[in-house]
Amino acid sequence: MPEARKKAIARTDGDRSSLKSKPTAPVTPPVAEAQVQPTETAVALKSDKPEAAAASQVESSKQTSNSDVVRSTGSMAIATLLSRITGFLRTVMIGAALSPAIASAFNTANTLPNLITEIVLGAVLTSLVIPVLTRAEKEDADGGSGFFRRLLTLCVTLLGGVTILSVIAAPALTRMMLSSEGQVNVVMSTAFAYWLLPQIFFYGLFSLFMAVLNTREIFKPGAWAPVVNNVITLAVLGIYMILPARLHPQQHVSIIDPQIVFLGLGTTLGVVAQCLIMVPYLRRAGIDMRPLWGIDARLKQFGGMAMAIVVYVAVSQFGYVITTRIASLADEAAPFIYQQHWMLLQVPYGIIGVTLLTAIMPRLSRNAAEGDDRAVVSDLQLGSKLTFIALIPIVVFFTAFGVPIANALFAYGQFDSNAANILGWTLSFSAFTLIPYALVLLHLRVFYAREEAWTPTFIIAGITATKVVLSLLAPVLSSSPERVVVLLGAANGFSFITGAVIGVYLLRKKLGLLGLKSLAKTSLWALGSAAVGAAAAWALGWLIEAVIGDFLLGTLGSIGYLIYLGILGVFFIIVTGIVLSRSGLPEVQNLGQALTRIPGMGRFIHPNDKISLDVGEVSEQDFSTQLVAPSEFAATPVPPPMSAGIVRGPRLVPGAPVGDGRFRLLADHGGVQGARFWQAREIETGKEVALVFVDTSGNAPFAPLSTAAAAGIAYEVQRRTKKLASLNSAAIASNIRTEAYRNGCLIVADWVPGSSLAAVAEDGADPRAAAYALAELTEATGAAHEKGIPLGLDNKCRIRINTDGHAVLAFPAILPESTMQRDAKSLASAAEMLIDASVAPTDVKEMITQAKALATEEDPDYGSLAIAMRTCGLFTEEPAHLVVKKEKTPRPDKRPGFGASDYSVKGMAAIAIVVIILVSLVAAVTAFLTSFFGGNNEESPLATVETTTSAEPTEPQGPPVYLPLADAVTWDEGAGEDVGAVTDGDTATAWTSTGSAGLLVHLADPALLDRIILTTGDGADTSVTSSVKIYAFNNANPRSLSEGIEIGTVDYSGRSLSHSIRDSSKLPGQVESVVILVDEVRSSNASATTPEMQIAEVELIGW
């Protein structure tokens, strides 16, 4: 190429007023999420002096120093640890203080505020409102103060109204959760609800207060407030345990009963304190809390998304309501046991979320919001591997040792060993839930970050449908009513398998292969290692039971189980870790790093940091988001934050689909600030098209435009481009269409075959042919200006030379920066690029001079210039034409991306139905195999064919009631002396025993038994323990224990006891008498020479 032409092209490349050169790489828009730190490139856009810009950035940022972050996150970690510990103790205390039956009534009422808050405000606040609040603080001149005031006024009004309506509707709400024909005391639950439902108001405000403080980087109050709530609740339960009068499961209570008032009001006061603790910090931060009516326009824009989130929560809670009703119909303890098992499963996931996924989850959201499909797949693989390598061993351990875990953690006070065993079985049968649950949460991150709010709603619908179907089958397949809850836990797990499979289908259509083979390798190593560890731990457990089992698990009770479980747990971790260390998997090193944080484990575990997976840096905001988790029961997977309307289009790379799968990208043809030019193929027709992706959101998040402003600019770009299309000029690409697209718009036009302006200029062109080629484009420029719009020339990439040798505007889009003066300068630049002035004839040189002069004229004459260009080209008899060969069409490999089309509604429904059927079949086969191989185990929750056909229970009618008793006498192989103290209703009088004695209680009329309540005397020695066996007889005067059936054992511990009999196969039909046989009486008090146990009252409940 001649040197003069190189200089001409260089001049046009450096002159920003003329045609710009094609960027060497696509301009990636800045990341849209508020937490993203500014990059050097983005800062440079603000200043011509990078050093000054960087200094200004550092000076203006509010980031804390590294030491501040360490102190702050350390404080939050301690607070969260205490919150989880006190929250767990709270759960244990509810069962220990109230008994499973009363705890079901209490906890059902106590979950209502959480459910209602979540559906009215909580999920929308977390997922949608808070990201918009973060935007408002950056966009608004008042720092978001007006936005927060309107939001606070709206929340107070909404929460206040909903709270009042909920309290009024308390009876209906509790009957929605509990069947009036079920085993749980609905009247008691309703009485509790009146005192607990006011929590709605304070839960909602606490969530809002914590969110606004987090946006101001004030994290500690939100982390410590739940600790205060838990401590208050623990104190209330502790005081209740020492009260002389306590509730009974079937007691008919009113709203003003002292125990109801004390428990309900005391629990609510804890939530009130949790909320009010935040107020001083809000004032200290200078947050304006004065009322201000109105709804911000940004919130109105997301109304459809808010509705999708509300439907998501409602559908999920519908499944939980059905599960609770089925549980309450089966057994009085089932609702509470179901909640306990679910909260216990949340503990390991919460730990994994804090230790391994803190950096990955927010990064996954950011990459999804950017449209970077490759990065999203990478983060999904990384998050899944870290989750599976950590959770699969926990699942195996929970499955193998569910019963010891439940006895070690929950079998205290009124929560007897029978209830603990049922909880243990529930834990074992549902531990696998952790795996699909974790996958579902990862999938939700992607969909919500892309603001595809209805897709998670569709997934949760599949989860709920599976849960409802399998839950309805649970009572039919269960071996006994009290074991129905075990199958309900398993049904919940299978339902999340449905959700995970649907999520994989939907993401695979968008993202292609998700790396499942690599994940399978990690999973198999984790499963194999955990199986070896579980087998070794089981063998060690068998040895311990054989040597000191009677003392450890019998005499020491739950404390012994704790010791037993601790030994097995440490041994399991060591063996599993040794096997996993042989795998060579990098994610094992990350798990090792997490385990070294446990005190003492660093001596045995030495991870190799060099080969561990890079999970990225953790910001204080991300850390607090992972740490501060609700301590209350949550029935719904909490939706993660959306992107506040700043969602980029799919990543633009050759082969990727865009426009909901209507186009596939072929080649990048450059771009300008705010627009990218692409060659693509229309999939339906196979035609080649030109695509202009216009982004009007500005330099988010550093100087973002408001959503309304961005939409207005996009509309104006479309309007002016449509006007340009109406010129019907041959110099403008034909068949121009415009449409809204993410944060801007998409311009589609027919492809111009030929070659780019730059390529033709570089190859060298005949000066006269080049002048003739620009004539029509010049005329089109003049025609556009006459219509009052610029042509939009600002970059040489926009112009292509077609196969006829004419210049054409191939990528039409009139951007906000486009001006008529820029059009004139760009035309002159195009002429300079195509024509080598050193060899050009005199008339062609004069034409170039005329083109340059137009840029300085107020009323340029493009017609005269076009005539001059044609005259130059018609110098000979035949017009001079540029000879341009058609460029070969690129054929990139097809690749997935966020621009792929979604499944249709019918397609998604078909996928859901197929997946639900398949998962249900898998559940059925699993149930059959479990029943077949475990049928001889009397504790198996699944009924065998023999038990379902041979058992002929008498169906009770209505709720159980207190049964009238005829009398009570001592048992001595028959009736003995009268013991009226146990039937007189006075706990001051009691029957005492030193062991090896019993009571024979006669019913006034034969009845079906449901429960036996033994109440200790007022002066009972709490250090005394014993084992009490209960026998039922279908005759009034038994002479031998062999005439009856042993229906259960109660562990006496000096407090009120309750034993539920829900297995009708163990009952001799209508019961006429009951024997309560006391075994050896023991005391933990070494000074007690002859320990005595007391039974003040015996109460029988049934039909």
Here the CATH number for the domain that contains residue 1026 is 2.60.120.260
508 and 412 share a domain?
yes
In this model, does residue 1 exceed pLDDT 90? no
Average pLDDT over residues 250-261: 87
Structural domain ending residue among the three candidates 561, 588, 614: 614
Listing DSSP states for 411-467 in one string gives: -STTS-HHHHHHHHHHHHHHGGGHHHHHHHHHHHHHHHHTT-THHHHHHHHHHHHHH
Answer with the residue of higher pLDDT: 308 or 203.
203
Average pLDDT over residues 474-492: 86
Say if CB 367 and CB 379 are below 8 A apart.
Answer: yes
Confidence of residue 618 (pLDDT cuts 50, 70, 90): low
Token pair in block for residue 1031: 């026998």
Q: State how far the alpha carbon of 104 is from the alpha carbons of 333, 339, 1008, in Å.
A: 6, 9, 22
- Encoded amino acid at 213, one letter: L
Per-residue pLDDT at 59: 39
Per-residue pLDDT at 36: 33
Average pLDDT over residues 1002-1029: 80
Domain count, the chain: 4
Residue 35 DSSP code:
T
Instruction: Read off φ and ψ for residue 659, nearest 5 degrees.
Output: 60, 45
Is residue 521 a part of any domain in this protein?
A: yes
In this model, does residue 674 exceed pLDDT 80? yes
998 and 1089 share a domain?
yes
282 and 307 share a domain?
no
362 and 435 share a domain?
yes
Per-residue pLDDT at 747: 92
Answer with the residue of higher pLDDT: 927 or 577.
577
Q: Write the CATH number for 737.
A: 1.10.510.10
Is residue 760 a part of any domain in this protein?
A: yes
340 and 461 share a domain?
yes
| Separation CA 836–CA 769 (nearest Å) | 12
318 and 275 share a domain?
no
In this model, does residue 931 exceed pLDDT 90? no
Average pLDDT over residues 69-89: 67
Answer with the residue of higher pLDDT: 414 or 513.
414
Residue 250 DSSP code:
T
Q: What's the first-to-final CA gap in the chain, in angstroms?
A: 103
Is residue 563 a part of any domain in this protein?
A: yes
Answer with the residue of higher pLDDT: 473 or 19.
473
Per DSSP bridges, beta strands 1045-1052 and 1071-1083 are unpaired
Say if CB 30 and CB 700 are below 8 A apart.
Answer: yes
Cβ count near 715 (within 10 Å): 14
Per-residue pLDDT at 823: 87
CA-only gyration radius of the chain, Å: 37
| Separation CA 866–CA 776 (nearest Å) | 7
282 and 155 share a domain?
yes
Structural domain ending residue among the three candidates 873, 899, 926: 873
pLDDT exceeding 70 applies to what percent of the chain?
A: 74
Confidence of residue 495 (pLDDT cuts 50, 70, 90): very high
Q: Among the listed ranges 48-57, 300-309, 523-532, which one has the minimum average pLDDT value?
A: 48-57
| Separation CA 618–CA 30 (nearest Å) | 19
* Mean of all residue pLDDT scores within the chain: 78
Per-residue pLDDT at 1082: 78
Is residue 700 a part of any domain in this protein?
A: yes
- Bridge partners of 749? 690
Confidence of residue 528 (pLDDT cuts 50, 70, 90): very high
Per-residue pLDDT at 128: 67
Encode burial over 858-894: b for 16+ CB neighbours within 10 A, e otherwise.
eebebeebbebbbbbbeeeeeebebebeeeeeeeeee
Listing DSSP states for 878-942 in one string gives: SPP----PPPPPP-PPP---TTSPPPPHHHHHHHHHHHHHHHHHHHHHHHHHHHHHHTT-TT-SB
Per-residue pLDDT at 310: 83
Confidence of residue 112 (pLDDT cuts 50, 70, 90): very high
Per-residue pLDDT at 248: 80
Q: Among the listed ranges 365-379, 625-639, 667-681, which one has the minimum average pLDDT value?
A: 625-639
Residue 20 DSSP code:
B
Say if CB 824 and CB 854 are below 8 A apart.
Answer: yes
Structural domain ending residue among the three candidates 589, 614, 639: 614
| Separation CA 284–CA 212 (nearest Å) | 13
Name which of 279, 111, 295, 284 is nearest 205 in CA terms. 279
| Separation CA 811–CA 692 (nearest Å) | 6
Average pLDDT over residues 361-382: 72
**Share in percent of the chain as helix, strand, coil (round to 5):** 55, 10, 30
What counts of helices (H) and strands (E) characterise the chain? Answer: 36, 23
* List of residues 6+ apart from 478 with CB closer than 8 A: 330, 484, 486, 487, 941, 942, 943
309 and 292 share a domain?
no
In this model, does residue 829 exceed pLDDT 90? no
Say if CB 108 and CB 178 are below 8 A apart.
Answer: yes
599: preceding bond cis by omega (within 30 degrees): no
Question: 690 lies in which domain range?
Answer: 3-25+652-873
What are 831-847's pLDDT values in tens digits?
A: 888 888 777 788 888 88
Q: Among the listed ranges 232-241, 336-345, 362-371, 783-792, which one has the minimum average pLDDT value?
A: 362-371
Q: Among the listed ranges 232-236, 370-374, 731-735, 755-759, which one has the minimum average pLDDT value?
A: 370-374
Token pair in block for residue 438: 């974790």
* List of residues 6+ apart from 123 with CB closer than 8 A: 309, 310, 312, 313, 636, 638, 639
Q: Using CA of residue 862, residue 868, residue 874, residue 880, what is the dihedral sign?
A: negative
* Cα 976–Cα 977–Cα 978 angle in degrees, nearest 5: 120
Confidence of residue 893 (pLDDT cuts 50, 70, 90): low
In this model, does residue 629 exceed pLDDT 70? no
Name the 3-class secondary structure at 957: coil
What are 186-205's pLDDT values in tens digits?
A: 999 999 999 999 999 999 89
Average pLDDT over residues 947-965: 61
Is residue 374 a part of any domain in this protein?
A: yes
Confidence of residue 56 (pLDDT cuts 50, 70, 90): very low
By the 10 Å C-beta count (0-12 exposed, 13-18 middle, 19+ buried), 178 is classed as buried
Confidence of residue 385 (pLDDT cuts 50, 70, 90): confident
What are 135-187's pLDDT values in tens digits?
A: 677 666 777 777 788 888 888 998 999 999 999 999 999 999 998 888 888 99
| Separation CA 503–CA 460 (nearest Å) | 10
| Separation CA 532–CA 961 (nearest Å) | 50
* Cα 846–Cα 850–Cα 851 angle in degrees, nearest 5: 120
* Token pair 């008529």 in the structure block, residue: 820
Confidence of residue 950 (pLDDT cuts 50, 70, 90): very low
- Bridge partners of 999? 970, 1076
* List of residues 6+ apart from 1090 with CB closer than 8 A: 994
Is residue 629 a part of any domain in this protein?
A: no
659 and 713 share a domain?
yes
* Token pair 């909320």 in the structure block, residue: 275
What are 694-726's pLDDT values in tens digits?
A: 887 765 444 456 666 777 888 889 999 999 999
775 and 813 share a domain?
yes
| Separation CA 268–CA 260 (nearest Å) | 12
In this model, does residue 1060 exceed pLDDT 50? yes
Answer with the residue of higher pLDDT: 499 or 140.
499
Is residue 886 a part of any domain in this protein?
A: no
In this model, does residue 17 exceed pLDDT 50? no
Q: What is the dihedral of CA 225, 230, 231, 235, to 10 degrees?
A: 150
Listing DSSP states for 499-560 in one string gives: HHHHHHHHHHHHH----HHHHHHHHHHHHHHHHHHHHHHHHHHHHHHHHHHIIIIIISTHHH
Is residue 890 a part of any domain in this protein?
A: no
719 and 790 share a domain?
yes
Per-residue pLDDT at 1062: 56
Per-residue pLDDT at 197: 95
By the 10 Å C-beta count (0-12 exposed, 13-18 middle, 19+ buried), 380 is classed as buried
pLDDT exceeding 90 applies to what percent of the chain?
A: 21
Token pair in block for residue 805: 């040798």
Predicted model pTM: 0.70
Overall size of the chain counted in residues: 1103
508 and 417 share a domain?
yes
